[in-house]
A and B are shown apart, each in its own frame.
Chain A
């Protein structure tokens, strides 16, 4: 393999590019990034970076002396991949022919359907989004957050810290009921309310109201919540539309095996745009978390270079969220769990560890402020996953 093109210059693309070099690839390496910035770390964009307490240089993903010997194309997107998987058409009018292609195009935030772009109404994905939202987070202003997922909850927390009045509207019955379930979602709900955030759950949003600038959020029950600033955090869709014609476009993400291989030879996909087969669940899952974007780059690189399948670790998925001065940590797969038991501490104090089980087997663990025992459980889940595979 003499030439590899990585499409996407964020954590997943960069991790894969690093892994390609680490695993001995010494050919030409192209990195096509739609961003006008060098790679940066996204988790701070809803937290410390949004609050203005860390600098651009601190969220850079590359070290100052790092050199991947790559040909970076910034501000350029890929428009098409031919079905052989060898030729990429780029937005600057050029085309690239490569022996191997890494799809790491990420995902884009969903907006409220049928809503025009209004000043003061934001989504949050990029560093530019974060800078623009920060401009609007003035003390005393009223922020309405649509969606109580990780982004919504973290922005609500940051905005409270900056002295804004904050209202959160969530369509589901509880915050984060998808990733952590309703029961633990209610604990997260209590975090919001005890920090002075007004939380309304089970309420859809039908649109944003305003002229040039947003002035309110229209709810499904006909009410309008007044707003100076709005953050819409209602999930993302994978950036796969450009792959139409390649056979790889799918609304649920690029379908891959458990090692990142797509159905097209010498094309792998990684990060938020990719739905890898998840052996523990028996289906394809788009696992849109930071740790997956970072760790799977090495697996995808090995798949591309050698068809290797030895890299996949038995570690369960891990993700976290920092809100209101607390870190919520989650490891494992909650799907299929039939019980949740608080093993340590108390949910009322937001200081606890809970284990999700399926029949008697632990499948996931969630903790607030219990780092040491959380790591103990995380290791146990990994051991269980390895022994399950060996059986």
Chain B
């Protein structure tokens, strides 16, 4: 379990980057939900904690890839690989994150072949 910070220190709309390996980002959405995901965009090295949060979607600050914080799925390119999600809990007013045991995602090619036969 990673101890993040008191819930009171992370108001809705705010984000906290946590320097574990690999780093994670903990978001508190405007709707009041907490989500933790890998902080590094799967497209190119950029911190999603610096991104643009709209609803449950985080947009990468560099190339505007979008990820669904609930599932880690890519909602918009250029990223092709999802980000990992981590379980968040609040215990006695303190935010905790249980890091995913899934391997960080291998760089696999997931797109369709471009050439039309």
**Which residues of A are at the interface with B, using a C-beta cutoff of 8 A?**
36-38, 40-41, 43-44, 55-64, 66, 74-75, 127, 290-291, 294, 318, 320, 327, 329, 371-372, 374-375, 378-379
- What are the nearest 4 A-B pairs in CB distance? A60-B111, A57-B109, A57-B111, A37-B114
B116 adjacent to A40 (CB under 8 Å) = no
**Which residues of B are at the interface with A, using a C-beta cutoff of 8 A?**
46-47, 50-52, 61-64, 74, 76-78, 80, 109-116
Among B52, B74, B78, point to the contact of A63 (Cβ < 8 A).
B74
Measured between beta carbons, the chain A residues less than 8 angstroms from B115 are 36-38, 56
A55 to B64, CA, bound (A): 20
Measured between beta carbons, the chain A residues less than 8 angstroms from B51 are 375
Among B46, B64, B111, point to the contact of A58 (Cβ < 8 A).
B111
Measured between beta carbons, the chain B residues less than 8 angstroms from A378 are 52
A64 adjacent to B111 (CB under 8 Å) = yes
CB-CB under 8 A for A59 and B61, given A294-B76, A379-B52: no
Among A41, A55, A57, A379, point to the contact of B77 (Cβ < 8 A).
A41
CB-CB under 8 A for A371 and B113, given A58-B80, A63-B74: no
Measured between beta carbons, the chain A residues less than 8 angstroms from B80 are 58, 60, 63
A58 adjacent to B109 (CB under 8 Å) = yes
Taking the closest CB of chain A, its distance from the CB of B41, in whole angstroms, is 11
B64 adjacent to A56 (CB under 8 Å) = no
Among B61, B74, B112, point to the contact of A60 (Cβ < 8 A).
B112
A294 to B74, CA, bound (A): 14
B116 adjacent to A37 (CB under 8 Å) = yes
A38 to B61, CA, bound (A): 27
CB-CB under 8 A for A127 and B61, given A294-B76, A371-B50, A375-B50: no
A47 to B114, CA, bound (A): 18
B116 adjacent to A74 (CB under 8 Å) = yes
Which B residue sits closest to A382, measured CB to CB?
A: B52
B112 adjacent to A55 (CB under 8 Å) = no
A294 to B65, CA, bound (A): 11
Extra 9 A-B pairs, beta carbons < 8 Å, given A37-B115, A43-B78 = A38-B112, A40-B114, A56-B111, A60-B80, A62-B112, A291-B64, A294-B76, A320-B62, A371-B47
Measured between beta carbons, the chain B residues less than 8 angstroms from A318 are 64
Taking the closest CB of chain A, its distance from the CB of B72, in whole angstroms, is 14
